[in-house]
Amino acid sequence: MNKMHFKLAIALLLITLFSGGISAQDFTKVDAAVKRYPNKFSSLDKFAEKVNTDFTRDDEKARAIFTWIALNVEYDIGKYGVNERPVGFSYRTEAEKLAKLKEMDEKLATTTLKNKKAVCHGYSALFKIIANKVGLEAEIIPGTSKSHPSHVGAGPGARDHAWNAVKIGGEWKLLDVTWAAGTATGNPLRFEFRFNDAFFFTHPDTFFLNHFPDDKKWLLTDKTEKDFANLPLYYGNYLSGGYELISPKYGTFKGVRNGVLSFKIKNISPQDTVAYVFSKERIFKMVKPVFNGDVTEFEVEFNNNSIGILTLYINRKSVLAYRINRG
């Protein structure tokens, strides 16, 4: 497996593990209805007509579009890293620019619907165009993802991802259809559908843990580039487990030798096992947590080989990753 495909596998594994507790609204009935939809539509208009026929509430329309795309559009692993939208074009007026962008997005959405295969921009273009056709205001948000241990300590860099915002009841909501669709497995990599709704109407502070938009207005929170760079890597099991990191919240450490680093995390059960691994050592080391109410404290021991990526595990599932640099 080459380096790019390895990173893709880690990224898709990470995103697949996000689950539960993100959206307060129950969309069970919407999802059940959409699962009875045909797995193909002959046109964008036919897709939009079906959604408009079955749903009247804006949030349910958005959910129906999100769910159908996530259940039916396969991630095109062979095109990982390819920009499906042309990088540049000429225009004379703002109106001409917007018209050309819309035309490009409609072409990409049509191709995605026809082929049922895309990377992130195809997913987000299809969502935007169908949302617009059913009367919703929606946008494609390009930006940077934090989805691999190599991203720890790095601020927003080259654009590598795209997602959506949709306006519901006068409020912008964030969603990522690509990361809801599934995961990459096996060697060689293949895509496996695994619907995950954690990235639908995600709270901005949670969405920020793995997304930084090119246009900061789409953060929908007061976080900064420095905040993004300082983040550790939050794996999906962190959210699905309901954990809350108290400290340390900085993702990078330098010069930690022959000592200990203390951690505090809320909502770890006394029945849970906690362990850590340094990437250079590749040895699972168990810790002895101290419980104080809902706060759990434990220490990670360092030596001269304790460099690289430090990954924390709860019940043998990765929850957090930090970068340890040599002093």
pLDDT, tens digit (0-9, with 9 covering 90-100), for 149-165: 889 988 898 889 999 99
Most confident of 7-16, 82-91, 217-226: 217-226
Give residue 6's pLDDT. Answer: 46
Supply the pLDDT for residue 91. 76
Among the residues of the chain, which ranges form H helices? 3-17, 28-34, 44-54, 58-72, 94-115, 120-133, 178-181, 204-207, 225-230, 236-240
Tens of pLDDT along 72-102? 999 999 887 665 555 566 777 888 888 888 9
The pLDDT tens digits of the residues spanning 56-70 come to: 999 999 999 999 999
Residue 279 CA, distance from chain mean position = 24
Q: What is the pLDDT of residues 289-311, one digit of tens each?
A: 999 999 999 999 888 778 899 99
Domain span at residue 256 reads 237-325
The domain boundary, picked from 205, 230, 255, lies at: 230
**245 plus 113 within the same structural domain:** no
Q: What is the pLDDT of residue 22?
A: 41
Percent over 70 (pLDDT), the chain: 88
CATH code for the domain of 255? 2.60.40.10
Domain boundary among 203, 230, 257: 230
Question: Is 264 within 8 Å of 295 (Cβ atoms)?
Answer: yes
- Is 24's pLDDT higher than 70? no
Count of domains in the chain? Answer: 2
- Is residue 164 located within the same domain as residue 82? yes
